[in-house]
Structure 1
Amino acid sequence: MEKNMKEIICPYSWDCGKIFDPQDLSKFDYNFIQSAVEKKMTFMIIHCPNCSREFKFDTIQWKSDEFGYSNPNNIVKKNEKTTKQLITILNKAKVEIPLSYFEYLISDKFEPQISIFPNEEDFILFNLNQLCEKINIEGKSYLTINQLKGFTDILMEFVDENFQQNQDLSYEELGNCLTIGSENTRILFVDNRDQNSLWIFHPDGGDIEKIALTLQNIVRKVK
């Protein structure tokens, strides 16, 4: 049954920021938001019907927020930490980066871009400093490298065990995996079970896919 819903504001105010009715959403997003309202979801991903970009939406506060896009007019200056300081941050968070990849991160052969799929945008690999930066997910703070824990805690509230049985990687296992890069909203991560397999997580639908490349394919440059 359809609900009377208020207008929504696109969060990308620098070049869109338009106000629209939920009925203006795509059919998929409109059905999704109706279901989310029923379930009182505080985290979902929908697309602005005007600029077509994805954004986060909270059906309780009826609030939209940026997701994967930042204002190009803002120049943010960040203080780079020393490798020793970054190691301290990782140790405190009990995060262990595979040694071969850690050596690659701190080497002069580290390359921030990597091609995953032919004819698609390159993924960006986070450097060591970026991996130790904090990201906010649903009001909780996580290091970029273990941000998957934040997403999976949310997903496990809405997905039953039968659904996860059809996946090669459960959300509980996913939460222990290490993020190493991204492309738009897609997250590139290392399978914690073998410290080598590479996968992609799609936050907008919770899908997980394994790719042909492995961590060793990346770090072989330092050999």
Structure 2
Amino acid sequence: MIKISCPYNWICGREFTTEELSSHDRDFVISAAAKKMKLIFIDCPVCKVSFSYNPSTNESIASGMMNPDQKEKKGPVRKTLKEFNTLLKKDKVAIPKEYLDYLLSEQFKAKPEVWKDQDSFELFSYDALREVVNIDGKDYVTARQLKGFALSLSELGEETDQLDKSIVIGESGTSLLFIDSRDQDSLFVFHPDGGDREKTNLSLKDLL
């Protein structure tokens, strides 16, 4: 039986066991711990808010809401254009030119429909693609965060299908929309809570 603490101590902060989780979350935590996964998302059974959890270290991380008592951050940390382009060049990846032109144009739209009758994905602006995010203790730019997830998956012996070469372009909740590196056109969704990839009914050409 694993004891977990809710990270939202300003509204909850309760400690609970895996037995108090929903059957789905309980099985997921047990399975993730056995696989030594480093990042999953579960719901607190008390306050019902989702948070990040590291089964390997039993660490809970507030990710669904901010503490109102904390000082407001000055803003996201971004790589400069030069640093960003250097990172892409080092990784031997690139944002397709047609999409980059679209990002910088007045025609850019933030919310494309990915599945009919389902929530839209919000596309990242060019500035947002350069923002620094932390994946399993390491910093990546938003556009390249799948590199971090791919590293975790490969450590578990799972196939990554060149996930580390893909460019992330949008998000919906915790799910990430990315361009398949194999054809630079197909759009997929990556689900961090299980490492699953799902092909959408859109291509990059559809966005343009």
Assess, with a 3 A threshold, how the Cα gap between structure 1 residues 211 and 63 changes in structure 2: closer, same or farther: same
Q: Matched residues in 1 for 2:60 and 2:113: separation?
A: 31
1:94-138 CA-to-partner distances (Å, cap 9, x unmatched) read 241111111111112212122212332221100001000110011
Is residue 20 from structure 1 mapped to residue 16 from structure 2 by the alignment? Answer: yes
Q: Matched residues in 2 for 1:78 and 1:111: separation?
A: 23
Alignment of 1:53-92 (within 5 A): 53-67=49-63, 69-71=64-66, 73=68, 76-78=73-75, 85-86=80-81, 88-92=82-86
| DSSP-derived class of the 1:113 partner | coil
- Checking the alignment, whether the CA contact within 8 Å between 1:90 and 1:96 is kept in structure 2 is no
Letter of the 1:66 counterpart: A
Task: Evaluate the alpha carbon distance shift between residue 113 and residue 72 of structure 1 in structure 2; reply closer, same or farther with a 3 A threshold.
Answer: farther
| Aligned counterpart in structure 2 of residue 210 of structure 1, from 189, 199, 202 | 199
Alignment of 1:135-174 (within 5 A): 135-160=133-158, 164=159, 171-174=160-163
Tell me if 1:120 matches 2:118: yes
Distance of 2:35 and 2:77 partners within structure 1: 42
Matched, 1:5 2:25: no
Unaligned runs of 5+ in 1: 165-170
Indicate the larger mover: 22-31 or 39-48. Answer: 39-48
Per-residue CA deviation, residues 157-199 of structure 1 (Å, 9 max, x unaligned), is 2244xxx4xxxxxx14111110000000110000112211111
**Which of 130, 151, 171 matches 1:182?**
171
SS at match of 2:202: strand
Distance change in 2, residues 1:159/1:48 (3 Å): farther
The percent identity for this pair of structures is 38
Q: Secondary structure at the match of 1:49?
A: coil
Aligned residues: 202
Give the counterpart of 2:183 among 194, 199, 222: 194
Structure 2, unaligned runs of 5 or more: none
- Distance of 2:175 and 2:204 partners within structure 1: 17
Tell me the alpha carbon deviations over residues 44-76 of structure 1, each in whole angstroms, 9 at most, x when there is no partner: 332222344432212343211134x34285754
TM superposition score normalised by structure 2? 0.84
Residue 39 of structure 2 contacts residue 192 of structure 2 at CA under 8 Å; is this kept in 1? no
Deviates more, 1:171-180 or 1:138-147: 171-180
- Structure 2 residue aligned with 1:168: none
Q: Is the 8 A contact 1:14 1:71 kept in 2?
A: no
8 Å CA contact 2:165, 2:181 repeated in 1 = yes
Cα RMSD (Å) of the superposition? Answer: 2.5
